[in-house]
């Protein structure tokens, strides 16, 4: 039973307002003394030509009272509905325990393209890319739960003059063995060396550019070297993705569009959008009060924006998306709004379905995280450190835990992900091991621990869901609080999707965990009397299930023991 809907039906009969409008207006009161649902009558003043409190009064007298309604009370302009607690606990628990609870069909037939992670090859995967990866992955799961078809795309930065530089650097200062042995780290070293040398010897820059032109033209030697750098990088990235359990449907990076850009440049010409400027080709964005969008460089090279425009058109034609969302740090705002407007100027009305989803920076708590690589904190090292720190805690708290290594991995990595998703995207993320691994804080380990606690109760009692449950045993305040949170799960998923904010789910899981721990603290479960015991066990099962489902939406695992 959907209480909101039922109440809206009752109200529709006495107000004449549409059911949907009523549903949108119904609020969940902040205090339980104010009932379970509240309907504000302010908006009815015009229609009824009366003061809102008076309208509330009159409506209250007229509303039908089916069994599920315990009481209706007026507070100023609000009509407060109190649901019969027995009915409430029965309906909620039955609903929550359904296998598909938390999924939805609202997105059926619609496709969302998610462009996330997208690191630059031949450069280390650093913590900045962690955010894009983790937020994108969570949104992928969230939209999937709502029935959307998702296409996860890794738009690798695998094309551009920097690869010309790398080829020059390799030929001058590189060795095959060193690169094979040390991977990206060695590529980084020779890349940095290139920049140092090019300061003294600017001709190197020209050499690099001409190598990139060779790449663009499909010259074999250039492409073979490029492909080798590519493979080495992907091998390292894939290790990180495996640790994070992140997957992509396509690794169509910038290089994928090399042979597709000419047609788009031609289209821009046809549509009279290209202008010459200092030897380069641009799209003028003066009307939009933005600097021009550079399409072709003086030397004939294409740019990041050229590839993004081409990729968007390709994706529209390939996936027929309803939305295409891009996860990058806030500093790329201008880039995205520039080329989104180019798409608009091309006459594509779907430009409004392109959405840049920006996020804040990652900062490191003290120097603890800096590594021998200087400023760059490598993702793999960071994750390994998280696992090592977690192992230490497990050694102290639960040295006999079976499967210690695996659990340390799930908890350590889960802590990093949870920390990243704890606040609204735009806020900066601070890494503090102490805070993010605190088992009693608002952290990943805390939620995982709560889940494991629920599992442990069920394991100890060898419990399963009873066939008949006396729902009246779950009508005390603490149990009701848990039930109230449980039933909100689908709304939270929807809200997270609407706002493109996984933190809505993260916070929800913390609240549910807190409510459950209070329930656990206040009540005996396995030793309670018959009837009560079965009802409480059902509640434990429900909480365990939702915590696990919720963590999965965030891309976090839920170990049964920790
Ligand atoms: N490779 C870029 C970077 O590391 C991010 C790419 C984001 N996606 C895109 N379609 N522009 O900054």
- Beta-bridge partners for 82: 71
Reported as a single tens digit per residue, the pLDDT across 132-179 is 999 999 999 999 999 999 999 999 999 988 999 999 999 999 999 999
Say whether pLDDT at 371 is over 70: no
Q: What 3 state SS string does 186-245 have?
A: HHHHHHHHHHHHHHHCCHHHHHHHHHHHHHHCCCHHHHHHHHHHHHHHHHHHHHHHHHHC
Q: Is the pLDDT of residue 378 over 80?
A: no
Tens digits of residue pLDDT in 471-487: 999 999 999 999 999 99
pLDDT given for residue 430 in this prediction: 84
Q: Flag the least confident range among 83-92, 119-128, 130-139, 391-400.
A: 119-128
Identify whether 492 is a catalytic site residue. Answer: no
Residue 351: which residues within 8 A CB-CB, separation 6 or more? Answer: 340, 341, 343, 344
pLDDT at 372: 41
Query: If you measure from the C-alpha of residue 562 to the centroid of ligand 1, how many angstroms do you get, rounded to a whole number?
Result: 37
Burial 520-539 (b: 16+ CB within 10 A, else e): beeeebeeeeeebbbbbbbb
Give the integer Cα–Cα distance in Å for 239 and 230: 14
Q: If you average pLDDT over residues 525-532, what whole number do you get?
A: 95
What is the residue-averaged pLDDT of the chain?
Answer: 94
- Give me ligand 1 centre to Cα 225, in Å: 22
In tens, the pLDDT along 195-231 reads 999 999 999 999 999 999 899 899 999 999 999 999 9
443 backbone dihedrals φ, ψ, rounded to 5°: -130, 170
Distance CA 562, CA 547 (A): 15
Residue nearest to atom 5 of ligand 1 (CA): 118
Between the CA of 427 and the centroid of ligand 1 the distance, in Å, is 20
Helix, strand, or coil (residue 153): strand
- Any catalytic annotation for residue 126? yes
Give pLDDT, residue 126.
Answer: 80
Return the pLDDT at 127.
Answer: 79
CA of 304 to the centre of ligand 1 (A): 8
Tokens of 266: 């031609």
Q: Is 254 in the pocket of ligand 1 (CB under 6 A)?
A: no
Tokens 């296998």 found at: 99
- Judge if the beta carbon of residue 308 lies within 6 A of ligand 1: yes
In 71-126, where does DSSP find H-type helix?
Answer: 85-96
Q: How confident is the model at residue 368 (pLDDT cuts 50, 70, 90)?
A: very low
Catalytic, 451? Answer no
Q: Is 160 in the pocket of ligand 1 (CB under 6 A)?
A: no
- C-beta of residue 170 within 8 angstroms of C-beta of residue 204: no
CB of 162 shorter than 6 A to ligand 1:
no
Please give the distance, rounded to the nearest whole angstrom, from the Cα atom of residue 311 to the centre of ligand 1.
Answer: 12
Candidate from 116, 121, 157 with most ligand 1 atoms within 8 A of CB, to mutate: 157
8 Å CB contact between 457 and 526: yes
SS3 368: helix
What's the whole-number mean pLDDT along residues 351-368?
Answer: 84
Which member of 126, 193, 344, 404 is catalytic?
126
pLDDT band at 365 (very low <50, low <70, confident <90, very high): low
- Which residue among 4, 85, 90, 129 is the active-site one? 129
Q: Please work out whether the CB of residue 253 comes within 6 Å of at least one atom of ligand 1.
A: no
Per-residue three-class SS string for 254-322: HHHHCCCHHHHHHHHHHCCCEEEECCEEEECCCCCCCCCEEEECCCCCECHHHHHHHHHHHHHHHHCCC
Element (H, E) at 374: none
């Amino acid at each position: 039973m959907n209480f909101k809907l039922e109440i809206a039906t009752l109200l529709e009969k006495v107000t004449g307002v549409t059911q949907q409008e009523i549903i949108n207006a119904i609020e969940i009161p902040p205090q339980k003394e104010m009932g379970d649902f509240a309907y504000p009558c302010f908006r009815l003043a015009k229609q009824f030509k009366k003061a809102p409190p008076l309208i509330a009064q009159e409506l209250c007298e007229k509303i039908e009272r089916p069994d599920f309604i315990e009481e209706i009370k007026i507070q100023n302009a609000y009509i407060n509905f109190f649901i019969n607690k027995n009915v409430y606990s029965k309906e909620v628990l039955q609903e929550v325990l359904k296998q598909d609870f938390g999924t939805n069909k609202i997105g059926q037939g619609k496709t969302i393209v998610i462009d996330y992670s997208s690191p630059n090859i031949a450069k280390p995967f650093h913590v900045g890319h962690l955010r894009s990866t983790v937020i994108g992955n969570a949104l992928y799961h969230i939209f999937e739960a709502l029935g959307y078809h998702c296409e996860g795309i890794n738009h690798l930065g695998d094309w551009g003059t920097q690869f010309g530089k790398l080829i020059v650097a390799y030929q001058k200062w590189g060795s095959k063995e060193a690169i094979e042995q040390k991977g990206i780290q060695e590529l980084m070293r020779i890349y940095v060396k290139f920049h140092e040398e090019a300061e003294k010897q600017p001709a190197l820059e020209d050499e690099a550019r001409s190598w990139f032109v060779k790449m663009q033209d499909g010259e074999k030697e250039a492409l073979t070297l490029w492909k080798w750098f590519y493979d080495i990088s992907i091998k390292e990235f894939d290790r990180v993705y495996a640790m994070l359990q992140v997957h992509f449907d396509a690794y169509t990076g910038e290089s994928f569009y090399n042979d597709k850009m000419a047609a788009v440049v031609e289209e821009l010409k046809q549509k009279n959008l290209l202008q010459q400027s200092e030897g380069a080709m641009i799209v003028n964005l003066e009307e939009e009060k933005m600097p021009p969008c550079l399409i072709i460089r003086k030397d004939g090279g294409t740019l990041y924006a050229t590839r993004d425009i081409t990729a968007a058109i390709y994706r529209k034609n390939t996936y027929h998306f309803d939305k295409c969302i891009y996860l990058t740090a806030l500093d790329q705002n201008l880039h995205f709004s520039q080329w989104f407007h180019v798409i608009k100027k091309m006459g594509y009305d779907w430009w409004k379905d392109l959405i840049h989803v920006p996020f804040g920076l990652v900062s490191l708590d003290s120097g603890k995280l800096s590594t021998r690589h200087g400023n760059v904190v490598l993702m793999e090292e960071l994750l390994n450190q998280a696992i090592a720190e977690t192992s230490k805690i497990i050694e102290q708290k639960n040295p006999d835990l079976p499967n210690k290594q695996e659990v340390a991995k799930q908890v350590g990595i889960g802590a990093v992900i949870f920390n990243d998703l704890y606040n609204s995207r735009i806020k900066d993320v601070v890494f503090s091991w102490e805070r993010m691994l605190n088992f009693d804080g608002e952290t990943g380990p805390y939620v995982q621990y709560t889940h494991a606690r629920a599992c442990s109760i069920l394991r100890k009692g060898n419990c399963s869901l009873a066939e008949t449950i006396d729902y009246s045993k779950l009508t005390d305040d603490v149990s009701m609080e848990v039930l109230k949170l449980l039933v909100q799960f689908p709304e939270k998923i929807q809200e997270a999707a609407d706002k493109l904010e996984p933190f809505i789910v993260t916070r929800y899981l913390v609240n549910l965990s807190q409510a459950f721990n209070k329930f656990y603290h206040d009540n005996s479960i396995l030793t309670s009397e018959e009837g009560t015991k079965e009802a409480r066990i059902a509640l434990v099962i429900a909480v365990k299930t939702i915590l696990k489902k919720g963590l999965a939406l965030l891309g976090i695992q839920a170990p049964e023991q920790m």
